[in-house]
Structure 1
């Protein structure tokens, strides 16, 4: 399912920062207004400068709410509610009780705007942090702008310590619950630094309030305001990738220039590793280990996208991905164990596809085996029944193409033994009365199918068809010939295969699905697609273009590449009953 675009554009930095800046300033000024309104009943007089500060903050917050509708795609109803409430507080300051209730409503709205859809414990933490920050900022404004003899509020120093302590505790709970508190991501990621700021700044203010109350009164508002800004930024800061675990393939999105580049590294062990990029990322990427030479990512036969083999050292290292003058890096940790896997070489792309399926499903499993290591019982049975199907169709023989992998060797033996048992010849060349059966890996299958395509264009060979093993039904192989058949135990049009196809395409730049990827994605539920084998035919489809404005039949697809397709620009349908 190759996407026509050349990668996922991230947009310029300025464009990305504008909505965030609007959000942070809007919430901060709104909190100042709400804080002043909350403490209004504690004042015996209403100084003009307090009204001026509240009105100025209200005007800024309201203006940014209006701008956010156009600049940050904020719903106009939410913006209208914010404008009305933030304007109501300074307008009602002459009426203390009314001002407080308006401030309470504004505070609740700020909580909703801060949580950004979170719920449960996170919502509770947001509520406490926003409420405490709002009260602190209001207290700071009242303390600075209203003479002491015009205030009925409790002692500011005591309240400062209480509110600052609450902010520090809530921030610490959020930091620990994020999972970043005790690993290097706490200082090595934007989210970690934001969370640390949300804890450290109120804690510093609280400490100052205890030992130097005067300094806390003068500068505490700056610290709490900065902590509040950090807290409200949490929702907009991406969660950093999980720390790399030796033996667990790494899947990350890198920002190379203005393009988001999905990157897969397998097997994440010392020695040779395979780095994979989707076709949508383009073909001009290079990779390098720190201090090493750049390796270009290039296409590989039978596989989608581009691939680069790199040598990774033991332990932690950085892998740099470059396009032109733009770079980004992947943090890796291969450990010290040397494991012999078929994760590179000819079978590497298929192994990477299986690893990708597991990662897309949300599992971080250690890669201990690859599909090419052995022939599964399910595929063994499917191949045997394929030979019986060819016998029933009247084929006199089969031409067998395989490779030297353990699975390929075993599959070839299975087909040969079954052909002998069925009385079919095992030929070395195509003829008018035989079929081609391909049971190797992706790379060898690509070569075999390309040769068959050329042979069929020159002579009437393989008149009983081209057949591939189930694991060879992927976009590059199926679309390399006009039509191909395979014994499958599932229908690629059913819910689970389609769901997987959409998931892997969304997670990895439009990558197409594969059988081993589906099996890994399903995990313990793999039996859900372990039905009785049938022969499925895959054929390329070209949609006839319609003239501009010309109507077409209802339900007729106008695209050759639809979400969830197992093979882009092709159709896969059953052409037999259950194989006996």
Structure 2
């Protein structure tokens, strides 16, 4: 087997442009959590893999060096005294490990902890004892280093795969120690054979443990296995120990044949063993090094399942993007591509550096078979959107950006039933509700879309608005709706309440009338925008533009200098903000919505709603909306907010939504 150098394998395993699985930002390196106690700033998400590159590199260097130190001590049970070369390598590895630990402590800003001191002392003790008169004593500190290596690689005992990862750490250390000893020592044949057997056994155990972990924890598709940084890392954790076991087995076989052969056979066997020494050592180092990377990468995306929306991250060279596909059934499927601070449509689309192809279309697109569908912008919601037809049996879609392509596994099954509204004008809201469940670990099945029925809470809020308008003597009211079941039901509620309040309902808003928008996001954004533009030249709906509660989304609110809407919660209250923060962490670039909040609350058991709604006003504001980690501000709006670049504040008391004579407070 051809060996791969450490630097090459590291660059290959952590690519800037690889597909990255979905999920929260990757777990911080165990070194910084358990040993250095890193400050939050150190654990901030990196550009593409969830952990800054420096932290990932420190983790890789530290744990690989610890494996060499631990292994060089553990093999003393069976091996002779180490040669000069082995002692030098063990000493250099200890120096590298100590330097990496000190660098991590310095970077984190934390003081030296007991864990750090134990790590440093045990690491230094191994090469010191190897150089002494009784090198077998190095076994004791080597066991300590092995234990620390297992903890650092596997995390806490409560971690899901602790036993597998800890066992792999021990096997990796033994394989590294055996490979190093056989590459540098000149033991008599019997002792070398025993060390070789240990190396073969350690490699075989490592293969089994890594394979079981892949089967249980993913990646769950061949596309992700070879096309993601996480997948490449775990693939090496399987192949590298297999290479160690195979190469050592070849050495053993050649040695056994040479023993019964001629002198020339012995010479050829010695030459082959010499040629295999370096590949064995490199394979052992690659096995441990690759095992350090998954903790610094996002967890693998779950396998695509028919009827369940797919939500995952993908890196097309310009930073991490959030990809969503719904409803994952044969036929039309809505594909969303968005990301924090990344434009994927229009002239501002940020293409991957160095991947420009003059013959490729600008912007991003999704390809299915020979059909390419570009992502386009929608007025009512940010991000890029494409409606693609996925035939039954489709196993992957391909995302393109200039000359760069990435394949994403999908599985639409064969059942051609999809919820109403999942791919129509209200599809983004339907997807937002599904994402609200996904981000809190709920069911990703695309069920009934919010636009298919009027929520009783929304019906009460609309009654409260109409009663308030009647109470303040509004001259008339216009309703802007669409053909969705929710909008039609909402319009019926408004008309009935307006009739009871004696409030005229007009086909179009007059100069002093109020406008109540009860359509879906798409038509609402257009209606609000056109009304605001018309008011610039002609008095239009001066009684106010009122929005149904489900229209609390930045794409609609941003179309007007001022709108009003009834809400039974404050967007800045703790529970809604927890939803917003979780959404920003799991699906960067996705816009919060009332439908998403309700799905999140129903799945997580959170309570967020007040008993009755109140009137809120939404308007853009000209102040910075995002903060630096040091408390300063950027000049760009916070894209994760309910209203990026704006504010939603309560301006009235509780609305009257109960039965009885229409009456209510004046907004």
What's 1:170 paired with?
Answer: 209
2:321 pairs with 1:253: no
What's 2:643 paired with?
Answer: 567
Please point out which of 381, 388, 403 is paired with 1:310: 388
Write out aligned runs for 1:123-272 (5 A): 123-142=162-181, 145-146=184-185, 148=187, 155-156=194-195, 159-160=198-199, 162-180=201-219, 191-192=230-231, 194-195=233-234, 197-199=236-238, 202=241, 213-215=252-254, 218=273, 221-222=280-281, 224-272=284-332
What's 2:15 paired with?
Answer: none
Please point out which of 498, 518, 527 is paired with 1:439: 518
Tell me by how many angstroms 1:577 deviates: 2.0
Change (3 A) 1:278 1:39: closer
8 Å contact kept, 1:372–1:406: yes
SS across alignment from 1:264: strand
CA distance in 1, matches of 2:485, 2:89: 77
What's 2:462 paired with?
Answer: 383
Tell me by how many angstroms 1:398 deviates: 0.9
1:246-270 deviation per Cα after TM superposition (whole angstroms, max 9, x unaligned): 2222222221123222122222222
CA distance in 1, matches of 2:509, 2:195: 92
SS across alignment from 1:390: helix
CA distance in 2, matches of 1:321, 1:411: 39
2:155 pairs with 1:100: no
8 Å contact kept, 2:624–2:635: no
CA distance in 2, matches of 1:444, 1:405: 11
What's 2:612 paired with?
Answer: 532
Tell me by how many angstroms 1:16 deviates: 8.3
**Which has the higher mean CA deviation after the structures are superposed, 130-139 or 257-266?**
130-139
1:350-397 deviation per Cα after TM superposition (whole angstroms, max 9, x unaligned): 222222222222234221322221222222222122211211122232
1:128-184 deviation per Cα after TM superposition (whole angstroms, max 9, x unaligned): 322233234334444565555699899446545654454344334433432557987
What's 2:342 paired with?
Answer: 281
Tell me by how many angstroms 1:415 deviates: 0.9
Change (3 A) 1:44 1:74: farther
CA distance in 1, matches of 2:254, 2:220: 29
8 Å contact kept, 1:45–1:150: no
Write out aligned runs for 1:405-416 (5 A): 405-416=484-495
8 Å contact kept, 1:290–1:317: no
8 Å contact kept, 2:615–2:653: yes
What's 1:520 paired with?
Answer: 599
SS across alignment from 1:105: helix
Name the structure where helix makes up a greater proportion of residues: 1
Tell me by how many angstroms 1:575 deviates: 1.1
Tell me by how many angstroms 1:469 deviates: 0.8
2:70 pairs with 1:34: yes
SS across alignment from 2:392: coil
SS across alignment from 2:425: helix
CA distance in 1, matches of 2:181, 2:402: 55
CA distance in 2, matches of 1:251, 1:473: 23
What's 2:654 paired with?
Answer: 577
Give 5+ residue unaligned stretches, structure 2.
1-44, 257-272, 350-362, 626-630, 658-667
Give 5+ residue unaligned stretches, structure 1.
1-7, 546-554
Coordinate RMSD, CA, aligned? 4.0
CA distance in 2, matches of 1:142, 1:443: 68
Tell me by how many angstroms 1:81 deviates: 7.1
Change (3 A) 1:530 1:183: farther
- Alignment: residue pair count: 561
**Which has the higher mean CA deviation after the structures are superposed, 303-312 or 156-165?**
156-165
What's 2:545 paired with?
Answer: 466
What's 2:352 paired with?
Answer: none
What's 1:5 paired with?
Answer: none
What's 2:259 paired with?
Answer: none
- Output the TM-score relative to the length of structure 2: 0.72
8 Å contact kept, 2:78–2:195: no
CA distance in 2, matches of 1:100, 1:273: 60
8 Å contact kept, 2:81–2:135: no
SS across alignment from 2:494: helix
- Output the TM-score relative to the length of structure 1: 0.82
Tell me by how many angstroms 1:62 deviates: 5.3
1:103-132 deviation per Cα after TM superposition (whole angstroms, max 9, x unaligned): 233333333442366744533333332223
CA distance in 2, matches of 1:275, 1:45: 63
Please point out which of 334, 344, 349 is paired with 2:423: 344
**Which has the higher mean CA deviation after the structures are superposed, 147-156 or 275-284?**
147-156
Change (3 A) 1:351 1:143: closer
2:377 pairs with 1:299: yes
1:500-525 deviation per Cα after TM superposition (whole angstroms, max 9, x unaligned): 12222333334331111111222344
Change (3 A) 1:96 1:74: farther
